[in-house]
């Protein structure tokens, strides 16, 4: 098993473990109760909390696009990553494994798409940057000129960028996630009341 | 970390896919709203009810006022047993919420009524015939009811050598098996 395959397998297993843990915790909270936890007031409050955390994710892309000429908002990127994992985990507790209605199911599926593509994208980027830096040091030690090193690395960077197809999924599917989340919230308020 | 410009087709493609799905949801909501919006299938008891608005008031949820349009006192008297009819007639007169004990969307074979955690012979033990003798319910299904501070409750708590205390009362069958007094 190559290191890349091993990392991918670890990633898939971690995501599956996180989803199963959240749903099993919700099931445990529901044992012996007249309604599943996800359908109680506390379950609904978790939904609002998860939504709030998930909305924090959008500060980073908004800041990045509004302030193109300023420094890359590193701290907001950290918030983007942490809230992008914590928010969906809270949402999983809110949903439980009660997958009946299609509208929240679409919202959940598109959220999963965005989160998984984001995690994979960050993983790809992290590995690529580490590989580039290691290669830069190696070429430097071999005595290549700065110009040759840059030319060499540009080819590697181009390959890495070609691999970053995840961005084609990550950002646009957010639109679908937002549309179905708004529909789910509106539907829950319409049928369930405030 | 910088973004690559996305291929030109991606955003329009996802926008069209989202729009198509939203339109499909809107169309299907008219034909089969339960599949799209409900947390579970409606029970066999309400299978003949036409439309969500028979029970749900927009932005207020299911309300007792909607339930009693069908589940009226005359209907209880005509269709239910004498105890059930009298019990519900009393609740209707007291304007109690149906949602304290009843729910829906638990599946076609699901029960609509909350189980009595004490078991039915709590009535035998206390000489009462209604949960409302000892409890005040909130109009939300699944919420723990408040225990009243009245003579029946105080008498029951005085029994049982201290075992009948708040937090210990729900599962009578832990100590009282097969209807026998525990040792």
What is the reported pLDDT for A161? 67
Structural contact between residues B139 and B99, judged by C-beta atoms closer than 8 angstroms: yes
Residues B159, B122: Cα–Cα separation, whole Å: 13
Nearest CA in chain A to B116: A34
**How many CB atoms are closer than 10 A to CB B169?**
18
Q: Does B58 touch chain A (CB under 8 A)?
A: yes
Which of A34, A102, A194 lies closest to B59 in CB terms? Answer: A194
Averaged pLDDT score across all residues of chain A: 87
**How many CB atoms are closer than 10 A to CB B49?**
13
What letters, b where the CB count within 10 A reaches 16 and e where it falls short, cover B80-111?
eeeeebebbbebbeeebbbbbbbbbbbeeeee
Sites in chain B below the pLDDT cut of 50: 1, 182-183
Q: What is the interface pTM, i.e. ipTM, of the complex?
A: 0.76
φ, ψ at B180 (rounded to 5°) = -95, 150
Partners of B21 on chain A (C-beta within 8 Å) are 106, 176, 179-180
Q: What sign results for the dihedral spanned by CA atoms B158, B160, B164, B169?
A: negative
Partners of B6 on chain A (C-beta within 8 Å) are 167-168, 171-172
Strand partners, B62: B56
Q: Is B146 exposed, middle or buried (0-12, 13-18, 19+ CB in 10 A)?
A: exposed
* Residue in this structure with the two tokens 């199963």, named with its chain if needed: A20
* pTM for the structure as a whole: 0.81
Partners of A180 on chain B (C-beta within 8 Å) are 21
pLDDT digits (tens, 9 = 90+) for B98-139: 998 899 998 888 889 888 878 777 888 888 878 888 888 887
Task: Give which of A132, A98, A111, A100 is closest to A30, Cα–Cα.
Answer: A98
Q: How far does CA B91 lie from the centroid of its chain?
A: 16
pLDDT digits (tens, 9 = 90+) for A92-147: 999 998 888 999 999 999 999 999 888 888 877 777 778 888 888 888 888 888 88
Least confident stretch, A59-63, A82-86, B14-18, B178-182:
B178-182
Interface probe with B: pick from A47, A102, A110, A181, most Cβ of B within 10 Å: A102
Structural contact between residues B156 and B164, judged by C-beta atoms closer than 8 angstroms: yes
Structural contact between residues B137 and B96, judged by C-beta atoms closer than 8 angstroms: yes
Which of A102, A191, A192 lies closest to B35 in CB terms? Answer: A102
Task: Give which of A27, A15, A23, A20 is closest to A85, Cα–Cα.
Answer: A15
């Amino acid at each position: 098993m190559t290191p890349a395959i091993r990392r991918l397998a670890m990633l898939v297993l971690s995501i599956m473990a996180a989803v199963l843990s959240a749903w099993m915790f919700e099931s445990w909270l529901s044992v012996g109760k007249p309604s599943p936890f996800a359908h109680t007031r506390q379950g609904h409050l978790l939904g609002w909390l998860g939504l709030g955390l998930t909305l924090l994710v959008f500060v980073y892309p908004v800041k990045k696009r509004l302030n193109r000429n300023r420094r890359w908002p590193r701290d907001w990127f950290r918030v983007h990553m942490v809230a992008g994992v914590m928010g969906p985990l809270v949402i999983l507790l809110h949903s439980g494994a009660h997958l009946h209605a299609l509208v929240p199911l679409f919202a959940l599926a598109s959220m999963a798409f965005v989160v998984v593509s984001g995690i994979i994208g960050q993983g790809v980027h992290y590995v690529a940057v580490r590989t580039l830096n290691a290669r830069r040091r190696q070429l430097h030690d071999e005595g290549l000129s700065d110009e040759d090193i840059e030319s060499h690395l540009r080819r590697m960077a181009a390959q890495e960028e070609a691999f970053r197809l995840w961005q084609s999924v990550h950002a646009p599917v957010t639109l679908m996630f937002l549309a179905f989340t708004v529909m789910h919230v509106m539907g829950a308020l319409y049928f369930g009341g405030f | 970390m910088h973004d690559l410009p996305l291929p030109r087709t991606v955003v329009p493609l996802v926008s069209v896919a989202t729009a198509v799905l939203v339109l499909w949801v809107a169309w299907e909501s008219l034909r089969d709203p339960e599949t799209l919006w409900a947390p579970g299938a409606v029970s066999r008891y309400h299978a003949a009810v036409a439309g969500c608005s028979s029970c749900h008031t927009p932005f207020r949820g299911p309300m007792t006022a909607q339930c009693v349009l069908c589940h009226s006192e005359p209907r209880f008297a005509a269709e239910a047993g004498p105890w059930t009819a009298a019990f519900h007639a009393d609740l209707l007169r007291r304007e109690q919420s149906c949602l304290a004990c009843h729910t829906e969307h638990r599946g076609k074979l699901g029960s609509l009524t909350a189980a009595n955690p004490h078991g039915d012979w709590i009535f035998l033990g206390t000489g009462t015939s209604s949960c409302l003798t000892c409890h005040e319910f909130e109009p939300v299904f699944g919420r723990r009811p408040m225990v009243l501070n009245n003579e029946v409750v105080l008498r029951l708590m005085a029994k049982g050598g201290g075992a009948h205390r708040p937090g210990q009362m729900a599962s009578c069958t832990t100590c009282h098996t097969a209807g026998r007094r525990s040792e």
